[in-house]
Amino acid sequence: MKAFRSGRVIVGAVIVVTVLLCALLAPHLAPHDPDDQNLLAQLLPPAWQAGGDAAYPLGTDGLGRCVLSRLLWGARVAMEVALIASLGAALIGSVLAYVAGYFGGWADWIIGRAVDVWMSFPPVVLSLILMTGLGTGERNVILAIVLVDWTRFCRVLRSEVLVVARRDYVAAARLVGFGHWRTVTREVVPATIPLLVTLLSLEMGIAVVVEAVLSFVGLGVRADQVAWGQMIADGREAIYQAPWTLFAPVLAIFVTVAGFNLLGDGLRRTLDVRMVEGRE
Amino acid sequence: MLLILGRRALSAIPILFVVSLLLFVALRVLPVDPAAMSMPPSATLAEIDAMRSQMGLDRPLLEQYGIWLGQAAHGDFGQSLHLRRPVLRLVADTLPATIELAVAAMLVASVLGVGGGLLLFTLRGRRSELVVETGTTVLMSVPEFLWALLFIFVFGVLLHALPFTGRLDASLPRPDKTGFLLLDAILVGRADVLWSALAHLVLPAVALGLAFAPPIMRVLRSSLLDVYHDDYIRQARLRGLSEGRILWRHALKNAALPMLTLMGVQFGFLFGGSLLIEVIYSYPGLGNLMVDAVRNADLPIIQIVGLTYCVLVLAINTLVDALYVVLNPKLRGR
């Protein structure tokens, strides 16, 4: 595969796989229970700093909870949300894009207007409103992201499908007697897969951020689950005494999102046949 | 120009209408009872029922929407359940702060975006291009609220260089004229107020602007690359014009158009981003109003703030569309 010769794809994939492994193996990797409070060891600095304790490699937060363990468990929520939400958004957005782009006419008009309505909301505002309606919880965070971000897929894919669906080979397939279903799934969809994969990777990064934002505001996952956004909100309170409790989740979000973005960017460059001379 | 603007504005009205209907329905199916929330806790069930029918909550949803729309047409968007003030007043009090922040952030994003885009373009084909480009990808991975937190730590906590809460120093009197603090400070001629307001605006605006600059850089670079394939650039070279003159006087004009469209979209998103920045910097704007309302399930506020964000986004899109037509001679006369 050509894609795996690109530096970005490799770096991005390594980061994403590492975070995924952390998420999957969190119960085994975490030195402590993420909710275990050790009130005798509050706000311990990381182990390499003076006063640090080797039992808490990244120190403890204001309630004496192990920062590293919380980070690992937070990765679980982040990755679950990222994967499921972006797949859901991709599914809805791309199905609508294929319908709109392939059939055109009134279907295209209705879907286009729906996208317009959605796009007139800043995404953060829309997801906040949805979370008010749905209530907190991981499942609702996923639902909110799907309901907000399907337009990202729909907009971009639709214009691609418009171009592909009018190519001669698609018309040929119709002439040979392929039905609409077979034409779309066998002829149109494969041509748009590279774009879809790229969008999916970028969307996963966005989903990580949105989940963190919602948890930060207190409208994300339930309070008994560990989320990076929540850790940031906690760490912000202790910014003077224990900046590491803020930095750890900030860094985790940054690295994860950078991984997804590098992967998506690299894929776009290697999979898109039209990329000549670094044109975007 | 005005004609185009008017036509675009008209096409935004149906969208606004649908949005307000959706917002209304979405917020009414919530398991929150606005009637019970607007009464003191000692109210009896009968009193709450009376309040409910007084507020029209026992009627069909569409009828309720009709009533709401009728009141809204008269400028009555209801009372906040929690703060017990007309919501329109609350929005009018906070909107200028948000616009001030968003415009300042957009300025930062534009300067960084255009500068970065030109830098990326001049480095094309060189080895350092890869480094700078990967840099923009990494830069894109830092959302605005992470910048905000980092800035608070570095400039506020470590260096004590800049303030990071509110809009103005508490010891200074707040000039109350337009609500736009920078403008007010100039109007009343207080340099210290202006200085303090600027100092409070720097961190939030830069944090927000930084997050929105990388896409501008990329689009400017790629549209410049596209433009340089055109014959007129080769023609300019053959005429012996200097590279600098070609870039500034010839290429940039055409390359700016796609960037302008993107900046319009970005400006809309930026209002969403300002919400988080406001929460982090305790900046008294629309975003803080919204988040407080969400926490208190204050439906009338959520409704009107949601609508206000929509109006802002649609207004910006309309303006950018019209500007696009004005700046692009190909679209004139249509």
Tokens representing B288 are 């803080």
Tell me the pLDDT band of B271, cut-offs 50, 70 and 90: confident
Contact residues, chain B, for A280 at CB < 8 Å: 218-219, 221-222
Q: In this predicted complex, what is the ipTM?
A: 0.81
Residue B161 has pLDDT above 50, yes or no: yes
How much of chain B exceeds pLDDT 70, in percent? 93
Stretch B259-284: mean pLDDT: 86
Average pLDDT, integer, range B76-90: 78
User: How large is the average pLDDT for residues B239-264?
Assistant: 82
Contacts of A128 (CB under 8 A, 6+ apart): A214, A217, A219, B275, B290, B291, B294
Distance CA B298, CA B293 (A): 5
Contact state of B141 with A132 under an 8 Å Cβ cutoff? no
CATH superfamily to which B95-284 belongs = MetI-like (1.10.3720.10)
> Which residue in B218, B291, B317 is closest to A217 by CB distance?
B291
Question: Using H for helix, E for strand and C for coil, what is the string for chain B?
Answer: CHHHHHHHHHHHHHHHHHHHHHHHHHHHCCCCCHHHHCCCCCCCHHHHHHHHHHCCCCCCHHHHHHHHHHHHHCCCCCECCCCCCEHHHHHHHHHHHHHHHHHHHHHHHHHHHHHHHHHHHHCCCCHHHHHHHHHHHHHHCCCHHHHHHHHHHHHHHHCCCCCCCCCCCCCCCCCCCCCCHHHHHHHHCCHHHHHHHHHHHHHHHHHHHHHHHHHHHHHHHHHHHHHCCCHHHHHHHHCCCCHHHHHHHHHHHHHHHHHHHHHHHHHHHHHHHHHHHHHHCCCCCHHHHHHHHHHCCCHHHHHHHHHHHHHHHHHHHHHHHHHHHHHCHHHCCC
pLDDT (mean) for B214-235:
86
Residue A104, phi-psi category: left (phi > 0), alpha (psi -120 to 50), beta (remainder): left
pLDDT value of residue B55: 67
Tokens of B243: 């590279």
Q: What is the dihedral of CA A239, A220, B138, B164, to 10 degrees?
A: -30
What pLDDT score does A278 carry? 41
Q: Which of A127, A128, A257 to mutate to test the interface with B (most CBs of B within 10 A)?
A: A128
Cross-chain residue pair B313–A278, CB shorter than 8 Å? no
% of chain B with per-residue pLDDT over 90: 6
Minimal Cβ distance to A117: which of B18, B268, B272 = B18
pLDDT in tens, B8-23: 778 778 888 888 888 8
pLDDT averaged over 10-residue windows placed end to end, chain A, 280 residues: 72 91 85 78 74 76 82 90 94 93 88 88 86 83 92 89 87 87 87 87 91 87 85 84 85 92 85 50
At A139, list the tokens. 């499942």
Give the pLDDT mean for B259-275: 84
pLDDT at position B34 is 63
Residue B299 has pLDDT above 60, yes or no: yes
User: Which segment, A83-97, A226-240, B58-72, B234-248, is predicted with the most confidence on average?
Assistant: A83-97
The mean pLDDT value for B251-256 works out to 83
CB pair distance less than 8 Å for A129 and B27: yes
Mutation for testing the A interface, residue in B126, B133, B145, B159 having most A CBs under 10 Å: B145
**Average pLDDT value over all residues in chain B:** 81
Cβ-Cβ contacts under 8 Å, A128 against chain B: 275, 290-291, 294
**pLDDT value for A84:** 95
More confident: B73 or A20: A20
Q: Which residues of A touch B (CB under 8 A)?
A: 8, 113, 116-117, 119-125, 128-133, 205, 209, 212-213, 216-219, 232, 236, 239-240, 243, 246-247, 250, 253-254, 257-258, 260-262, 265, 277-280
pLDDT in tens, B124-143: 877 777 788 788 888 888 88
Q: What is the mean pLDDT of residues B201-211?
A: 90
* Full-model pTM: 0.85
